[in-house]
Chain A
Amino acid sequence: MKKVIIMALVLLLAVTLVACTGAEPKAGGGAFKIGGTGPLTGGAAIYGNSVKQGAELAVAEINALEGIQLQLRYQDDEHNAEKAVNAYNALKDWKMQISLSSVTTTPGIATSKESFDDRMFGLTPSASSTAVTEGKDNIFQMCFADPNQGSASAQYISNNNLATKIAVIYKNDDAYSKGIYETFEITAKELALEIVSITTFTEDSQTDFSVQITDAQSKGADFIFLPMYYTPASLIFKQCDTIGYRPKFFGVDGMDGILTLEGFDIGLAEGVMLLTPFSADATDPLTKNFVTKYNEKYGEIPNQFAAGGYDSVYAIYKAILASDGDIAPTMGHAEICEKLIAIFNGNFVFDGVTGTGVSWDSNGQVSKDPKAVVIKNGEYVGM
């Protein structure tokens, strides 16, 4: 038995070493090599896998047109900046030419810097912090930047008179959650929205929200703003329900995905509103086509992360088309980068499933209209 184990061990190590040193990747062979990093394992895996699947679908559709050919590879970054840089380097070894940057914010900040230094064009589907694009001319975002999400939420709540007394629960040790909260607070003050309760939690305390919920309840909040990912949010819904406290809930794009969370009673999310660039029930042909095909391929309704991945690939594809043959798969990544920057900063307008008439400013931030959706009968419905 031990011999078997040792043989297996030696064999595996040998395979590892071979893979580690040799196996020079082949040249593009007529296809553009697009790479991205995202959390494919661990707590944030749902985002990474959604983006990856959305991007895969787009690549399959584009390749089926038999025009420009794309090759896609995703590497796992475990939602960790150190691993993300490793993953990015592995993609460079694969001879990536265009990067989809990273899916989540902290890895996104790290890989976008690498990408900036290497002159590798980056379009992130969902890393939403301004620090991702700041000072980097070749990094663009497909999603709203965090400050825009915060202020847009406050604006939306005020415009639609959704709330009288607002409570906010946010995650204090998370760049995404804190970033949205900061601008929400500033805009809410300007619009004279009344925030009665502000409570926080951290990675280590995101299993029990009784203190935060009780605080909101005792101060008479009828509306809770939840700038956070869906996992803690699902617990907040559950715990509010248990004590019979039923305020309105309002989330941002991280809330998307709650309906596909395993073991979550989606009845609890009934009536939850969220700000998202994408709603799966939209009737335009682009969205319909995307939702149907995604459902066929992966057996689920796409969330906005999948839509972001899908749109990012299409935006790159459309930009290459717009270059009129000026960008070829035989070019190096730096050359492609400069040409793509010129196109994205030019008059390039993109219509996708996360918005129409999408354009980018010179900071790499996207301009498009947010949509609000509400969860009705276990599905996202546009408001």
Chain B
Amino acid sequence: MNLLKNLSSTAKSNFFTYALIVGGYIVIQILSLTGGLTYSLQGLLIPVCAWIIMAISLTLTVGIMGDLSLGHAGFMSVGAFSGIIALISLEAVIPLVGLRVIIAMLTGALCAGFVGVLVGIPVLRLRGDYIAIVTLAFGEIIKNIFTCIYVGMDNAGLHFGFLLSSGISELNLGEGARAIVDGPQGLLNIPNKIVTFSMGFILILAALFIILNLVNSRAGRAIMALRDNRIAAESVGIPVTKYKLIAFAVSAALAGAAGTLFAMNFSTVVASQFNYLASIQVLVFVVLGGLKNFWGAIIAAVLLTVLPESLRFLDEYRLLIYGILLVLVMHGTYSNIIHKLLNFFRSLFPTPDKLEKQ
């Protein structure tokens, strides 16, 4: 215990975040070994991993950088589409599944990060509400572009098409034809079930490692300084665009990796799934998690993904009750009793928040 006391509060908070993830992983593994996992929960494991990564990466943009982004699901779809295209097209070259999954995730992350930089350059010159509106628009643009893309593969290689009026048949695929992206039908024939919960767990750890290290680095302090007082930060020579772009691109890249993970769990994914409602859902995770708390965002992501599913026994009243619960939870976290409870937990596990105040 002495060891814990000697740690700085940031380290304690980080330690708790890691412990939460590892603990959750162990509990799930034990449950699955003892057969205590229902099919519902089994099916939710990988999507929950993906939503956790989405939540912590958006916490970086919204909580740490202080800019409201409403297009986060757009980056997820970039990752989903590019990652799956890589996964399928490399099937013949790299037979090793694990390696192919890693390459697919890296491709997804790189493509989403690249789009993040492209979007970030104009967007991050704006301030406040304008960023929210423009990111919202970018998310919708990305969605609409993916709706018009056609990708097929035959023995000669990949074929790309855009806005084909008679669909994928216009790609004139030769022998060994296989449709990968079919316009509005989205990604088809995804070899699903190749990712496991453990891979999702490792990806969460990697994402946490990247984000927490970034936040606690020189760049992270610069980003938080820009958030707290932009003018003061600029006056001491912190380059605004550079640091904001770093945070935004890292956040986008991790969302991309999450998108690849998410898509690999399903046999089909359509671009319209990643609409602004999905972005707002992630934002809800972040807000409920307390904006700057990574572990809060993780808990919120798990809770709000599992909750609507565990309410299925309510049949037609399900979404109604879910809505009421959401209001109560949001209300409850700001009322007295829960506040005291939260303060109690906070005294155990200090957040970066408190550190700043010290």
Contacts and interface: CB of A to CB of B under 8 A. Distances in A.
A82 B332 CA distance: 29
A33 interface: no
Contact of B165 (A76, A174, A175, A185): A185
Main SS of the interface on chain A? helix
B144 A9 contact: no
Interface string A338-359: 0000000000000000000000
Interface string B256-267: 000000000011
B331 A172 contact: no
B39 A93 contact: yes
Given A6-B338, A12-B321, A86 B309 contact: yes
Interface in A57-108: 75-76, 80-82, 85-90, 92-93, 106
A110 B267 contact: yes
Contacts of B38: 89, 93
Interface stretch (B100-108, B186-194, B218-226): B186-194
Given A82-B47, A89-B40, A172-B147, A106 B169 contact: no
Contact of A93 (B40, B183, B193): B40
Interface residues of A, number: 52
B331 A5 contact: yes
Contact of A20 (B271, B310, B331, B332): B310
A364 to B, nearest CB: 16
Contacts of A76: 312, 316, 318-319
A88 B267 CA distance: 14
B40 A110 contact: no
A282 B335 CA distance: 62
B43 A182 contact: no
B126 interface: no
A16 B310 contact: yes
A81 B270 CA distance: 8
Nearest to A88: B43
A26 interface: no
A196 interface: no
A19 B42 CA distance: 16
Given A81-B266, A81-B270, A178-B183, A172 B148 contact: yes
A182 B40 contact: no
- The winner among A13, A19, A75, A89 for most chain B CB atoms within 10 A is A89
Given A20-B306, A81-B273, A203-B272, A90 B267 contact: no
A186 B168 CA distance: 13
B185 A87 contact: no
B169 A182 contact: yes
A186 B321 CA distance: 48
Given A81-B270, A172-B183, 20 more contacts: A6-B335, A9-B325, A12-B321, A19-B310, A21-B36, A41-B319, A81-B268, A82-B266, A85-B43, A89-B42, A90-B312, A106-B268, A129-B185, A173-B271, A174-B184, A178-B183, A182-B167, A185-B165, A203-B272, A204-B140
20 contacts: A2-B337, A6-B335, A6-B338, A9-B329, A16-B325, A86-B44, A86-B309, A90-B39, A90-B312, A106-B185, A106-B268, A131-B185, A131-B188, A171-B184, A173-B144, A173-B184, A174-B184, A175-B270, A179-B185, A202-B144
Interface of A: 2-3, 5-6, 8-9, 12-13, 16-17, 19-21, 23, 40-41, 75-76, 80-82, 85-90, 92-93, 106, 109-110, 113-114, 117, 129, 131, 171-175, 177-179, 182, 185-186, 198, 202-204
